[in-house]
């Protein structure tokens, strides 16, 4: 694959924009000033070589993760292909920024360990439309805030998070590729104008939007390795109950069934893409909802 194209800013900041080679409408915003401020805040200093290495390391790792999704499981590929097509059709962009960590961004000013961990172990998606239930029907460009490093299984902050609150940061669904895919599903739904923040009855899911992103990420996770625990809800990184780990079992829950139907009805074309997965994995409730026992693949009675 060709090396990424970098577009330098002209404001004297040293920031640059990297166009992701496989999908040039995905832009990585490499914030030199932000990385420099982070080094200052942590007491490391402002050695220019360190700043450059930090910038390039973030860019390299994000591109590696994007590549893993573009070349990944059926559902991972479907998400990335849908992003590429929607951006091409509507001239939209997906902008990926690094997350900023600074004590001033926490209520305690950095003295509360839980707040600091919560700030670092967090990714987000956004866009021009703020608040409310949804975005314009025609969709809009999307923004993702993401840093791969804290999500490494051997990262200090992730290990500390498990010690501080294992009931929240239990390790399930915490890998970097899972978190980036989750945010890119948010981005895709914003591009397609189907963002839906209607609150759910079940507290753990938060709202339909988060339910949809956890659901699609869980399907991709199950395709990659059917034995990997699946994430239960959005508010924590804990395992889904055993009775929900197959499509049929998952859809026995009335709210699951209702929410999956709403997701399918709102965006039937993308839902059909997910249902077309040839992977014989036990967890794909979208496929089960659309095809049920008529699906002719292996173990069609899931």
Q: How far apart are CA 135 and CA 129, in angstroms?
A: 6
Examine residue 9 and state whether it is found in any structural domain, yes or no: yes
The model's pLDDT over 206-220, given as tens digits with 9 standing for 90+, comes to 999 999 999 999 999
Confidence of residue 296 (pLDDT cuts 50, 70, 90): low
The model's pLDDT over 61-95, given as tens digits with 9 standing for 90+, comes to 999 999 999 999 999 999 999 999 999 999 999 99
Examine residue 301 and state whether it is found in any structural domain, yes or no: no
Examine residue 125 and state whether it is found in any structural domain, yes or no: yes
Examine residue 151 and state whether it is found in any structural domain, yes or no: yes
Examine residue 302 and state whether it is found in any structural domain, yes or no: no
Examine residue 161 and state whether it is found in any structural domain, yes or no: yes
* First-residue to last-residue Cα distance in the chain: 39
CA neighbor of 152 nearest in space, from 178, 175, 173, 171 = 175
Examine residue 61 and state whether it is found in any structural domain, yes or no: yes
The model's pLDDT over 174-232, given as tens digits with 9 standing for 90+, comes to 999 999 999 999 999 999 999 999 999 999 999 999 999 999 999 999 999 999 999 99
Q: What is the DSSP string of 45-65?
A: ---HHHHHHHHHHHHHHHHHH
Examine residue 300 and state whether it is found in any structural domain, yes or no: no
- Supply the range of the domain harboring residue 61: 5-294
Are 61 and 107 contacting, i.e. CB atoms less than 8 angstroms apart? Answer: no
Q: How far apart are CA 56 and CA 147, in angstroms?
A: 13
> What angle do the packed helices 176-191 and 48-70 form, to 10 degrees?
70
Neighbours of 184 (CB within 10 A): 28
Total domains, the chain: 1
As to burial, measured by CB atoms within 10 angstroms (0-12 exposed, 13-18 middle, 19+ buried), residue 75 is buried
How many residues comprise the chain? 302
Q: What is the pTM of this model?
A: 0.94
Segments of the chain assigned E as strands: 5-8, 16-19, 26-30, 94-97, 124-127, 142-145
SS3 readout for 211-276: HHHHHHHHHHHHHHCCCCCCECCCCCCCECCHHHCCHHHHCCCHHHHHHHHHHHHHCHHHHHHHHC
């Amino acid at each position: 694959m060709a090396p990424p194209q970098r577009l330098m800013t002209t404001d004297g900041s040293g920031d640059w924009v990297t166009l992701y080679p496989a999908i040039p409408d995905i832009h990585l915003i490499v914030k030199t000033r932000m990385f420099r401020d982070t080094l200052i805040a942590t007491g490391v200093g402002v050695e220019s070589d360190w700043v450059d290495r930090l910038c390039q390391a973030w860019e390299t790792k994000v591109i590696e993760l994007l590549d893993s999704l573009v070349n990944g499981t059926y559902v991972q590929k479907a998400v990335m292909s849908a992003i590429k097509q929607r951006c091409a059709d509507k001239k939209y962009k997906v902008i990926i920024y690094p997350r900023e960590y600074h004590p001033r961004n926490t209520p305690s000013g950095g003295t509360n360990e839980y707040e600091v961990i919560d700030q670092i172990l967090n990714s987000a998606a956004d866009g021009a439309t703020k608040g409310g239930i949804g975005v314009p029907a025609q969709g809009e460009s999307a923004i993702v805030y993401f840093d791969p490093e804290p999500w490494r299984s051997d990262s200090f902050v992730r290990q500390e998070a498990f010690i501080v609150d294992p009931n929240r940061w239990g390790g399930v669904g915490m890998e970097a590729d899972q978190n980036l895919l989750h945010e890119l599903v948010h981005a895709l739904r914003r591009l397609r104008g189907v963002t839906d923040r209607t609150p759910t009855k079940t507290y753990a899911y938060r709202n339909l939007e988060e339910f949809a992103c956890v659901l699609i990420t869980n399907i991709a996770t199950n395709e990659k390795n059917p034995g990997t625990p699946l994430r239960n809800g959005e508010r924590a990184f804990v395992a889904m109950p055993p009775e929900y780990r197959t499509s049929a079992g998952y859809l026995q829950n009335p709210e699951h069934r209702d929410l999956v139907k709403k997701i399918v009805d709102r965006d039937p074309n993308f839902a059909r893409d997910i249902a077309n997965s040839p992977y014989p994995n036990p967890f794909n409730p979208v496929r089960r909802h659309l095809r049920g026992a008529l699906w002719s693949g292996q173990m069609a009675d899931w």
